[in-house]
């Protein structure tokens, strides 16, 4: 195995904090000019997305699009409040319609619970309710070939999916083929015992991948060891999107930056940041592919005397 024809992407917040036409053009134009294949557009506020304008700009620059969000706590589909769960289901269905209309291939993020620091563990009833709602959302997205990526995140952002193994079990419970696991090495660095093994365990259930370093700044400038991560992706023949996420107080989306705790300025030059991330990612993919090739061609039948 090796990599497939992975689309390389960048999160819009590397460029802009909002989605006016001027902001969308700046983000989409820059992403295309640096040579990426897709842009991930945050849809924490789906009503702020001008569908016609977004579709037109994506087509003008030849970019694929994906949407990402986390449910607000008053839309928690894993909680005991049935009205909040109904609001969450309606919100997810609204984002499915936006994805269909802008031509987005994926909806990813914290789709299964509130995007918040919980002060209590998840309940079995809440988890089953989340699965039942997401089964309906996945079925609604299926005819438009939209994949839903259940993003596995750290314990400070959800109490439902913190490890790849939980993500795999959750998608199997949903039981619809477009329910996929979304892994992010920033979160894996906090929660997984063995990142390479976690990716191998996800296998063909992995449908989306986020790169990002430990401080969410320049790729490779933090403490994450990317070698086993890309080796794991190569071992499973991962062919889905690989999207770079980075956040700095230089670019602020009041909704997202505050929940993520983006208080520090880790970069100021968006273009330099994303240009470097693309080169870094491509180099890691080449290295991991070479490792696989070498490890698959060990001499066989050679006796070592000594
Ligand atoms: Mn992420």
Q: How far is the CA of 298 from the centre of ligand 1 (A)?
A: 37
**Which candidate, 59, 138, 152, 62, places its Cα nearest to that of 106?**
138
In order, the DSSP letters of 106-166 are EEEEEEEEESS--SS---HHHHHHHHHHHHHHHHHHGGGTPEEEEE---TTT-SS--SHHH
Catalytic residues: 151, 245
Q: Rounded CA gap, 273 and 270, in Å?
A: 5
Instruction: Give the Å distance between the CA of 13 and the centre of ligand 1.
Output: 12
Instruction: For residue 125, report the distance from its CA to the centre of ligand 1, in Å.
Output: 26
Question: Residues in the chain, how many?
Answer: 306
Q: Tell how far the Cα of 211 is from the centroid of ligand 1, in angstroms.
A: 8
Provide the pLDDT for residue 304: 57
Closest C-alpha among 201, 204, 203, 205 to residue 192: 201
pLDDT of residue 254: 86
pLDDT of the residue at 108: 98
Instruction: Please give the distance, rounded to the nearest whole angstrom, from the Cα atom of residue 73 to the centre of ligand 1.
Output: 18
Q: Which token pair is 184?
A: 């992010």
pLDDT value, residue 303: 58
Mean pLDDT, consecutive 10-residue stretches, the chain (306 aa), reads 89 96 98 98 95 98 98 97 98 98 98 97 98 98 98 98 98 98 98 98 98 97 98 97 95 89 94 98 97 79 56
Q: What is d(CA 244, CA 189) in angstroms, rounded to the nearest whole number?
A: 15
Distance 153 CA to ligand 1 centre (A): 7
245 Cα to the center of ligand 1, angstroms: 6
Structure tokens at 217: 């700044």
- Kindly state the tokens that stand for 176: 């619809």
* Dist. CA 108–CA 265, nearest whole Å: 26
Q: How many angstroms separate the CA atoms of 242 and 229, rounded?
A: 12
206-211 and 147-151 strand pairing: unpaired
Residue 129: both structure tokens together = 């309710």
Please list, in sequence order, all residues whose beta carbon lies within 8 angstroms of the beta carbon of residue 296, skipping any fewer than 6 positions away. Answer: none
What tokens does 284 get? 């890691």
Residues 6+ apart with CB under 8 A from 141: 96, 99, 100, 107, 147, 148, 178
The CA radius of gyration of the chain, in Å to the nearest whole number, is 19
CA of 149 to the centre of ligand 1 (A): 11
| pLDDT for res 255 | 85
Contact 23, 16 (CB under 8 A): yes
Find out whether 27 and 12 touch, Cβ atoms under 8 Å. yes
Measured in Å, residue 147 CA sits from the centre of ligand 1 at: 16
Which of helix, strand or coil describes residue 38?
Answer: strand
Give the model's pLDDT for residue 30: 98
In whole angstroms, what is the distance from residue 108 CA to residue 183 CA? 10
Asked whether the beta carbons of 118 and 159 are under 8 A apart, the reply is yes
For residue 138, the SS3 value is: helix
Tokens of 208: 């989306």
Q: Which residue has the tokens 């107080």?
A: 249
Say how many Å lie between the CA of residue 300 and the centre of ligand 1. 42
């Amino acid at each position: 195995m090796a990599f497939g024809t992975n689309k390389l992407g960048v999160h819009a917040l590397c460029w802009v904090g909002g989605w006016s036409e001027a902001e969308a053009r700046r983000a989409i134009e820059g992403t295309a000019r640096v040579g990426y294949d897709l842009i991930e557009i945050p849809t924490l506020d789906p009503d702020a997305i001008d569908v016609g304008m977004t579709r037109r700009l994506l087509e003008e620059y030849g970019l694929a699009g994906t949407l990402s969000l986390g449910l607000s706590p008053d839309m928690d589909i894993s909680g005991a409040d049935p009205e909040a769960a109904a609001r969450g289901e309606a919100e997810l269905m609204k984002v499915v319609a936006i994805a269909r209309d802008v031509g987005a291939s994926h909806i990813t993020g914290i789709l299964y619970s509130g995007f918040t620091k919980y002060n209590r563990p998840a309940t079995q009833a809440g988890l089953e309710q989340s699965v039942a709602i997401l089964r309906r959302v996945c079925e609604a997205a299926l005819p438009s070939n939209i994949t839903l990526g259940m993003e596995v995140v750290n314990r400070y952002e959800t109490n439902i999916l913190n490890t790849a193994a939980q993500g795999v079990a959750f998608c199997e419970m949903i039981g619809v083929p477009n329910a996929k696991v979304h892994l992010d090495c920033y979160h894996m660095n906090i929660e997984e015992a063995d990142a390479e093994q976690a990716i191998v365990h996800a296998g063909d259930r992995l449908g989306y991948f986020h790169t990002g370093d430990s401080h969410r700044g320049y790729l490779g400038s933090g403490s994450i060891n990317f070698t086993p991560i890309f080796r794991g992706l190569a071992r499973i023949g991962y062919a889905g999107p690989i999207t770079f996420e980075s956040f700095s107080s230089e670019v602020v989306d009041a909704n997202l930056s505050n929940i993520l705790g983006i208080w520090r300025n880790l970069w100021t030059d968006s273009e330099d940041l994303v240009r470097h991330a693309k080169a870094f990612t491509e180099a890691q993919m080449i290295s991991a592919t070479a490792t696989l090739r070498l490890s698959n061609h060990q001499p066989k039948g050679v006796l070592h005397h000594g």
